Amino acid sequence: MGNGFKKLMRTQLVIPLFSLFLIIVFNLIRDVGFFSISIVTNNQGNPVLSGNLISILNGASAVAIMSIGMTFITSSCKGQDISVAAVAAIAGSVFVSVLRSYEITVPVIIYAFLLSCLISVVFSMFNGILVAVFKIQPMIATLILFSAGRSIAYWINGGATPTVSSPLLSAIGGFIPGIPVPTPIIIMIIFLVLISLVLRFTTLGLYTQVVGINEGTAHLNGINPVWVKLLAFVISGVCVATAGCITVCRIGLINHETLLLDAEMDVILAVAIGGTALSGGKFNLYGSVIGAYIIQALTVTLFAMKVPSAAVKAYKAAVIIIIVIFSSPVVKEFVVNLYKKMFKSRVKTPVKAS
Amino acid sequence: MQNNIVLSMRNISKSFPGVRALQNVDFTLRKGEIHALMGENGAGKSTLIKVLTGVHPKDSGQIFLEINGGLKEVNVRSPHEAQNLGISTVYQEITLCPNLTVAENMFIGRGNYRTVNWRSMKKKAAEILEKLNIPARAAQQLGTCSIAVQQMVAIARAVDMDCKVLILDEPTSSLDEQEVEKLLSLMRELKSRGVGIIFITHFLDQMYGISDRVTVLRNGELAGEYEVKDLPRVQLISKMMGKDLEDVSSLKKKSLPDEKADSPPVYEAVGLSSTNCPNEFDFKISKGEVNGFTGLLGSGRSESVRAIFAADKITGGRIKINGKSVKIKKPKDAMMHGIGYLPEDRKKDGIVEDLSVRENIILALQVMKGFFRPLSRAEAESFADEYIKLLGIKTASMDTPIKSLSGGNQQKAILARWLLTNPQYLILDEPTRGIDVGTKVEIQKLILRLAGEGVSVTFISSEIEEMLRTCSRLVVMRDRRMVGELRDEEMTQGNIMHMIAGEAEKNG
Amino acid sequence: MKRILALILVTLLTFTLAACGTQPAAPDGSSQGTSSEDGSKTSSNSDSGLIKVGIVNNPPSESGYRAANVADFERVFNEANGYKVSTFYSLKNDEQLNAAQQFITDGVDYLLISAAATDGWTNVLENAKNAGVKVFLFDRMMNVDESLFEAAVVSDMAAQGRMAVEWLKEQNLSEYNVVHIQGAMGSDAQIGRTNPLNEEFEKGTMKCVIQQTATWDEATAKQIVESVINSGEKFNVIYAENDGMAKGAVAALDEAGITHGVDKEVIVIGFDCNKWALRELLAGNWNLDVQCSPFQADKIHEMIQMLEAGKTLPEKIVINEETYFDARTITQEDIDKYGLGD
């Protein structure tokens, strides 16, 4: 009996994994060498890994990191923060403006990153206070920064698209000399490990879910829902700042209008595909990260298929609809039933035969 | 005989992941009878009804329904289909729209009305209301009617849809005595019209008062079908529980412990008040004492214990734990001082639906240990396992989401949550509401055992007998004030009633 | 309680947005009015001998281009040059219409408009004409009769695209395998810069390796180029419809060890002439950058002076003169003079 249930539990991750698997298989059929990885020497003279798989893992890292924060917000607040991309633009702008006022060294980069984290957390907390203390619908509360965030970033940038360039920054956005794996992938892994440790060594996961499922119970069991929700926004703030800084380092440029453009939708989608109900409650952190990779894999596939520019969004939407329908409880139940029937008939037939 | 049958269910089986909810259950309903469906929580009553009304597909078995004078097998795939077949259900919670009028509620959403003729609708509704003797006007907003009348409107709606089978799922649980009587007379009226009624209830009196036959389920299996007049109560209960009821009578409550001068009360409050309980009150409880708060619903008994636990914002008062002054401003403070609180509304404040039984059990202990000291998986499992066994919680596994447990087992899990914190003072607000007789007795026994081990318990129940059986002291509340206290021999039904009613008469 | 709070929030939001719309003018500390209310003040001291000008533009936060555009107008239209200026910024046509009407009521001499949308202006411009206010359009055309304005100074996006394609043809490469990264589909700039290249693709003189939109996003541009590199297809030209996307594309080339720039494996073409992009040209990392001039103020200033002197204007539609910079010929002075931003 326990096994049966464990199986069902696993299906939470099964859907995103299955979707990822389908996209991979589709690409392999289309082009056997699609996921081949090769080592090339980059223009700085370092050997680095190259290939579509690397592109997917690399390209998705910003959205994946933000989806971690979004998962906590979704779970505890029963809603989404639609201002993450705009706040990332603010964080990126802070990062760049600090870097531009000093000579770029490692301590300066760390200082710039910490400052952008701080600013991002402050903005995120603004959202958090509206949601947790004033109990405003998350989507409405974050609408403020969603619309105003990029204007704030514009103001920080002084209306231009300032550039920063330094080998140190391209080491963050690209490759660290001597390490063939793109740094954003490494940062993503570090983030995932960190957050896993946090989940392992604190009760964050339990508290978040309890608050998301039943606030009344949380309160009566000594959990302060306001505190847990604010914490989710703080985590998200750090995630968002990291994503913003990585993206800036990738190109060496901050464009407040296009930095992580529409990423909030990708992030929310990643959380949804990952098996966390957008209405809050139980969450699946690794599912969200996989969701981010699914979206990126899809994007890269569409690029590789040379889908006409005007149709890209339509294709993406079509595939995503299919994934979301597949992960809906209705289809899940249907599949479980189908499996059960097949399993039963297999058991029955030999009995009849004997 | 055959002609008399409107519904016959044969060999119905249904299982959910990890749980066999129904196993080869038979059920027969005759025309114009009131047939009670009894069983403990988790016995399979709801599942049987849900299979019948198409909410859950059955795994195996057959359902026959009387159609045009003959029994035909039917396959009910949705509640809507059930309704078309003449099977109507009225649930415990009203599922109508309170902001529409009575007439609208009776006719809206019914397929045969393509266009709405408001006037004829109103007229027809008025006719039905009069015929069934329901004290409501057709044009009245449903929300302004009492719960009982709303329930009757729901029934009228069901009956008017030419139903052959009417299912009443706990219709009386939120009604007062008068309302119940009205509802029962409506049921008799319908019975005389030839409707077959399936009546699900926890109230033995009502069941015996009105039912013709009774089908008893136990653990998803048929325990038997009886003529009500042939089945004495004790036997019914033993059928439901699968054991004899000696346990119940063998309960022995502790008498009030002697208040020794040298041992201060475990908990003592002076002038305590909260936002929900504005009237300041004093209260104390000593070690190993079981005390009760009684009073009508809304008398402030729940609000008072919530103030003790600081569940609402505390607005004043001084508190001593074991004689030492402490500050209890929020639930966590109370927990850290060894107070546990099982809330009145299990669904809203008790369980965390989607989380596993294990997580639900360890929740309070985990919070007390702190944010940075999570219980390891192994610790959590051993705790959960221990208490699942100790309290006999029926669950497929400790990883099962608690929402798939029956009400009684959910309640036990929450009890386990607080027992795990090893409290010195446990507040139980309506721990026995909406759960089956067997579990009720178990919980009462548990309370007495805890008291024996030195835990102080405050116990609130709407059923005064329960409190009389377990408590050694009763605080009586009326209109949000404590109006008196009864001890040991003073505690009789009569005294309590008088005190609640406000008559200063004591027979002790 | 909740409702009141929501109300406060909405008000707050409106203020924030309004502030965003108008704030850019504030940091300059200039004495120019930033709204129509200020415009009404200017009418009272009309005997100062200054020419009264109302400018309706999009907010500088729209883009780097717009920021440069606004800065250009601030440089030219000020009291030192003999103008009394009122400015209004909005991305919304109806707000712009209201502001323009207000300027007319306030009695400005000239109305300079860069419309948010091309339609709906006829009424306001007729009012202007009746009130004797002379109208200049800049940057963007609008759907009105030519008689309603004095002149329009506009950018010709298609000309920019043609310039780049012509330059590319002059390079006489043995083959042209072009990676074409487009801007947001449907925008003026995208259409203007895409069409000339599409013509070459259709003629077969150039081969399209990939044509994909990055919606002006640098990171997306990088991913598109990565995907081409990963597919192993040969390409020797990157035609990115703005500088940012070109920068993203170059980042992908750098990571894959593909050289780019003057006499390297891949030719890189960008648009807009940001200062940092021109510096890349100077360093030989890119090959070509085509200007999309945001500088229309001088031309309009010139025409206003002509009108004030009683002359007539030679032409109705003035196409902004635009230029491009080749990495082989660009100089630091070009960067200082034509580069946007810093």
What is the per-residue pLDDT across C178-226, written as a single tens digit (0 to 9) for each?
999 999 888 888 999 999 999 999 999 999 999 999 999 999 999 999 9
Nearest beta carbon to residue A43 from set C24, C254, C274: C254
Classify residue B348 by its DSSP letter.
Answer: I
Radius of gyration of chain B (CA): 25
Picking from A147, A151, A253, the nearest residue to C218 by CB comes out as A253
How far apart are the CA of B210 and the nearest CA of chain A, in angstroms?
Answer: 39
SS3 content of chain B, % helix, strand, coil (to 5): 40, 25, 35
Is B248's pLDDT higher than 50?
no
- C341 within 8 A of C64, measured Cβ to Cβ: yes
A57, A150, A163: best to mutate for the C interface, most C CBs within 10 A: A163
Token digits of residue C52: 């009264």
Are A162 and A100 in contact by the 8 Å Cβ rule? The answer is yes
Reported confidence tier of residue B490, pLDDT bands at 50, 70, 90: confident
Would you give the distance in Å from CA A254 to the centre of its chain? 21
pLDDT grade for C133, boundaries at 50, 70 and 90:
very high
- Residues B465, C149: Cα–Cα separation, whole Å: 93
Confidence at residue C27, expressed as pLDDT on a 0 to 100 scale = 34
Alpha-helix runs per DSSP H in B263-330: 301-309
Q: State whether C7 and C149 are in the same domain.
A: yes
Residue-wise pLDDT for C233-278, tens only, equals 999 999 999 999 999 999 999 999 999 999 999 999 999 999 999 9
Lowest mean per-residue pLDDT among A32-46, A171-185, B163-177: B163-177
What does the pLDDT look like over C276-290, one tens digit per residue? 999 999 999 999 999
Same domain, yes or no, for C30 and C108?
yes
- What's the pLDDT at A206? 95
Token readout for B299 is 């008398």
Look at domain B285-313+328-501 and name its CATH class.
alpha beta
Strand-pairing partners, residue B88, are: B166
The reported pLDDT for the residue numbered A348 is: 45
CB contact (8 A) between residue A155 and residue C341 = no
Give the tens place of pLDDT for each residue, C291-334.
Answer: 888 889 999 999 999 999 989 888 888 888 888 999 999 999 99
Cα dihedral across residues A250, A251, A254, A256: positive or negative: negative
Which amino acid is residue B479, in one-letter code? D
Give pLDDT tens digits for B63-103: 999 888 788 888 888 888 888 888 888 876 667 788 888 88
For the stretch B288-338, pLDDT in tens is: 899 999 876 667 888 899 999 999 999 999 999 999 999 999 999 999 999
Is C286 within 8 Å of C277 (Cβ atoms)?
Answer: yes
Residue among B355, B373, B396 whose CB faces A210 most closely: B355
In this complex, the chains that touch B, judged by 3 or more CB pairs closer than 8 A, are A
Residue closest to A295 by CA, chosen among A281, A313, A308, A311: A313
Residues of C (202-231) whose Cβ lies below 8 Å from A: 210-213, 215-220, 222-224, 226-231
What DSSP line would sit under C277-323, residue for residue?
A: HHHHHHTTS--EEE------HHHHHHHHHHHHTTPPPS-SEEEPP--
Superfamily of domain B2-244: P-loop containing nucleotide triphosphate hydrolases (3.40.50.300)
Among B336, B369, B371, pick the best mutation site for testing chain A contact (most A Cβ within 10 A).
Answer: B371
Please report how the helices A263-273 and A61-77 are oriented relative to each other, as an axis angle in degrees rounded to 10: 70
State whether C117 and C28 are in the same domain. yes
Q: Are A243 and A267 in contact (CB under 8 A)?
A: no
Size of interface A-B (CB pairs under 8 A): 95
The contacts of residue A300 (CB under 8 Å, 6+ apart) are A52, A55, A56, A59, C223, C226, C227
Residues C279 and C304 in one domain: no
DSSP B254: P
Bridge partners (DSSP) of residue B101 are B141
CB-nearest partner of C20 from A151, A174, A312:
A151
Chain B CB contacts of A207 below 8 Å: 371
Its sign, for the CA torsion B380, B382, B387, B393, is positive
Q: What is the average pLDDT value for chain A, to the nearest integer? A: 89
Which residues of A sit within 8 Å Cβ distance of B?
1-2, 4-6, 8-9, 200-204, 206-207, 209-210, 213-214, 216-224, 281-282
Asked whether the beta carbons of C55 and C73 are under 8 A apart, the reply is yes
Judge whether C126 and C102 are in contact, CB under 8 Å.
no
CATH code at position C183: 3.40.50.2300
Q: Are A138 and A144 in contact (CB under 8 A)?
A: no
Same-domain check for residues C247 and C124: no
**Residue B263: pLDDT over 60:** yes
With a CB-CB cutoff of 8 Å, which residues 304-343 of chain B face chain A? 309, 311, 330-332, 335, 341, 343
Q: Supply the angle between the helices A183-201 and A225-251 in degrees, to the nearest 10.
A: 170
Identify the weakest region by mean pLDDT among A113-127, B11-25, C118-132, C168-182. B11-25
Computed on alpha carbons and rounded to an integer, the radius of gyration of chain C in Å comes to 23
Q: At what angle do helices A61-77 and A84-100 cross, to 10 degrees?
A: 130
Domain enclosing residue C167, as ranges? 157-292+325-338
User: Within this chain, do residues C8 and C103 fall inside the same structural domain, yes or no?
Assistant: yes
What the block records as the tokens of C80 is: 């030192």
Query: How many domains in chain C?
Result: 2
Q: Which backbone phi and psi does A270 adopt, to 5 degrees?
A: -60, -40
Which pLDDT score is estimated for B426? Answer: 96
Give the pLDDT band of residue B465 (cuts 50, 70, 90): confident
C171 with C135, same domain? no
Q: Are B146 and B135 spatial neighbours (Cβ–Cβ below 8 Å)?
A: no
**With contact defined as beta carbons under 8 Å apart, do C16 and C9 qualify?**
no
pLDDT at B257 over 80: no
pLDDT, tens digit, for every residue of B206-244? 888 899 999 999 888 898 899 988 888 777 877 776 654
| Contact yes or no for C271/C156 (Cβ under 8 A) | no
Q: One-letter amino acid identity for A77? A: C
What CA–CA distance (Å, rounded) separates B457 from B469? 14
- Structure token pair of residue C191: 């259409």
pLDDT of residue C44: 41
Q: Residue A119: what residue type?
A: I
Query: ipTM for the complex?
Result: 0.89
**pLDDT tens digit string along A275-291?**
888 889 999 999 999 99
C171 and C80 housed in the same domain: no
pLDDT of residue C29: 35
Answer yes or no: pTM beyond 0.90.
no
Q: How far is Cα A92 from Cα A90, in angstroms, rounded to an integer?
A: 5
Q: Rounded to the nearest 5°, which phi and psi values hold at B335? A: -60, -45
B351 interfaces chain A, CB cutoff of 8 Å: yes
Pairing of strands B314-321, B267-274: antiparallel
Cβ(B5)–Cβ(B28) below 8 Å: yes
Residue B462 contacts residue B433 (beta carbons within 8 Å): yes
CATH T-level fold of A2-304: ABC transporter involved in vitamin B12 uptake, BtuC (1.10.3470)
Is the per-residue pLDDT at A201 higher than 90? yes
Do C164 and C266 sit in the same domain of this protein? yes
- Same domain, yes or no, for C334 and C215? yes
pLDDT at B365: 95
Q: Is residue C318 part of a domain?
A: no
Which B positions 457-476 lie with beta carbon below 8 A of chain A? Answer: none
Classify each residue of B6-22 as buried b or exposed e, where b means 16 or more C-beta atoms within 10 Å of its C-beta: bbbbeebbbeeebbbbb
Measured in whole angstroms, the distance separating CA B77 from the mean position of its chain's CA atoms is 29
Which DSSP string do the residues of C72-103 spell out, in sequence order?
HHHHHSSGGGTEEEEEEE-S-HHHHHHHHHHH
Q: Among A202, A213, A219, whose Cβ lies nearest the Cβ of B355? A: A213
Quick one: which of C238, C165, C157 has its CA closest to C205? C165
| Helix/strand/coil for B441 | helix
Q: Do A5 and B363 touch (CB under 8 A)?
A: no
Residue ranges of domains in chain B: 2-244, 285-313+328-501
How much is the pLDDT for B389?
A: 92
Of A184, A231, A190, the C-alpha closest to A207 is A231
Which residue of A lies nearest to C1 if distances are taken between CA atoms?
Answer: A134
Residue type, B208: Y
Longest dimension (CA), chain C: 73
- Residue predicted with more confidence, A352 or B386: B386
- In this complex, is the C-beta atom of B364 within 8 Å of any C-beta atom belonging to chain A? yes
In this complex, do A51 and C247 lie within 8 Å of one another by their Cβ atoms?
no
Residue, of C26 and B178, whose pLDDT is higher? B178
Which of B439, B14, B438, B10 has the alpha carbon at shortest distance from B220?
B14
- 3-state SS of chain A? CHHHHHHHHHHHHHHHHHHHHHHHHHHHHHCHHHHCCEEEECCCCCEEEECHHHHHHHHCHHHHHHHHHHHHHHHHHCCCCCCHHHHHHHHHHHHHHHHHCCCCCHHHHHHHHHHHHHHHHHHHHHHHHHHHCCCCCHHHHCHHHHHHHHHHHHHHHCCCCCECCCHHHHHHHCCCCCCCCCHHHHHHHHHHHHHHHHHHHCCHHHHHHHHHHCHHHHHHCCCCHHHHHHHHHHHHHHHHHHHHHHHHHHHCECCCCCCCCCHHHHHHHHHHHCCCCCCCCCCCHHHHHHHHHHHHHHHHHHHHCCCCHHHHHHHHHHHHHHHHHHCCHHHHHHHHHHHHHHHHHHHHHHHHHC
Chain B nearest CA to A257, separation (Å): 40
Cα–Cα distance, B71 to B63 (Å, whole number): 10
User: What is the distance in angstroms between the Cα of B310 and the nearest Cα belonging to chain A?
Assistant: 9
**Per the CB < 8 Å rule, is A40 touching C257?**
yes
Q: How far apart are CA B154 and CA B128, in angstroms?
A: 12
Which residues in A lie closer than 8 A to residue C248 (C-beta atoms)? Answer: 250-251
Q: Which residues of A touch C215 (CB under 8 A)?
A: 258, 261
Q: Once rounded to an integer, what is the mean pLDDT over residues A212-227?
A: 94
- Round the average pLDDT of chain B to a whole number and report it: 84
Is residue C104 domain-shared with residue C127, that is, in the same domain? yes
Contact A206, A218 (CB under 8 A): no
C133 and C207 within one domain: no
